[in-house]
Amino acid sequence: MHGSAVFSVRPFSRFPGRVVAGLLAAVLAGELSAARDWRTASREPAGLAPDPAATPEPVVQVYAARTIGWRGSFGVHTWIAVKPAGAAQFTVHELMGYQTRRTGNGVRSSQRAADMYWFGNRPWVLADVRGPGVEAVIERLGVAVADYSYAGVYRLWPGPNSNTFVADVLRAAPELRIDLPATAIGKDFLGPRLVAKTPSGTGAQISLFGVIGVLVGWVEGVEVNLGGLIFGVSPTRLAIKLPLLGTVGAIDPGRPRMLPVSRESATRAAIVP
């Protein structure tokens, strides 16, 4: 009709194709970059961990860093670093995919820098807990590491992978109150189970092999898993959770803190020289 505005959908019909093309280009660029650079990528300490020589008390830290190449656009690698009282070094518990394929057991507990760059990607602290009560937590974490059920299996998606390992081990230490990033793909893999406690121990989750599920916890907030992509909110952290971006919040959970200590434990600590 003469004088009427004509609306064309053609520019919008091209949008999905452009998005896919852009993602493919990013994936290819990341893959080529990873193939070229991973052997020389930085593995230096990031300056986030305390010096064991100047920190006699026990410490538990949990870290995350973007993974190598194109995978880093979607996900992170997580690990747990522990230092018993008086120890001269940190011990890092993590699961390595290539080690799983080579040896049949991907679990690695090694003495290395707790805050090491993950093949060029700077890590950040998810939790830093020190002082009284932490020694018992370290012992329970060690038992959970040894008892991990999927040490011989690694699947990038939907799990089990390195984030499945960390989530499983953290369930043995609810005092740490850790909210794993939305980009920790695999953290929701429960194997044949449908229901489990959240990694923070403050709620529960339902998950069908890490592909689809719902999580509700005081620390984690509310999360919906759709094909391994996490959408959610965390009121306690004033955070939103989105694929690619991860958890974006106003409260930093990585500041050093101490565990709540019962009156009985405090009295005993004061008596024992």
- In this predicted model, which residue has the larger pLDDT, 176 or 266? 176
pLDDT digits (tens, 9 = 90+) for 3-39: 444 334 344 345 444 444 444 444 444 444 444 466 7
Q: What is the pLDDT of residue 26?
A: 45
pLDDT of residue 261: 67
- What span, in angstroms and rounded, lies between the C-alpha atoms of 242 and 110? 32
pTM of the predicted structure, to 2 decimals: 0.83
CA 247 to chain centre: 11
pLDDT at 222: 98
More confident residue, 260 or 213: 213
d(CA 137, CA 86): 16
Q: Binning pLDDT at 50, 70 and 90, where does residue 64 land?
A: very high
pLDDT digits (tens, 9 = 90+) for 98-133: 999 999 999 999 999 999 999 999 999 999 999 999
CA 146 – CA 71 distance, rounded (Å): 28
What distances in angstroms separate CA 19 from CA 16, 22, 26, 112, 221, one per listed residue?
Answer: 5, 5, 11, 40, 30
The amino acid at residue 151 is A
Residue-wise pLDDT for 201-257, tens only, equals 999 999 999 999 999 999 999 999 999 999 999 998 889 999 999 999 878 888 899
pLDDT for 262 equals 56
Q: What is the DSSP letter of 160?
A: S
Determine the pLDDT at residue 72.
Answer: 85
Residues of the chain with pLDDT > 90, as a percent, come to 73
pLDDT of residue 265: 45
Alpha helices (H) along the chain: 10-13, 15-37, 97-103, 134-146, 162-170, 263-271
Of 37 and 152, the one with more pLDDT: 152
pLDDT of residue 197: 97
Q: Which has more pLDDT, 11 or 167?
A: 167
When pLDDT is averaged across residues 149-177 and rounded to a whole number, the result is: 97
Distances (CA, A) of 135 to 36, 54, 138, 221, 258: 42, 17, 5, 28, 12
**Is pLDDT above 70 for 54?**
yes
For residue 34, the model assigns a pLDDT of: 46
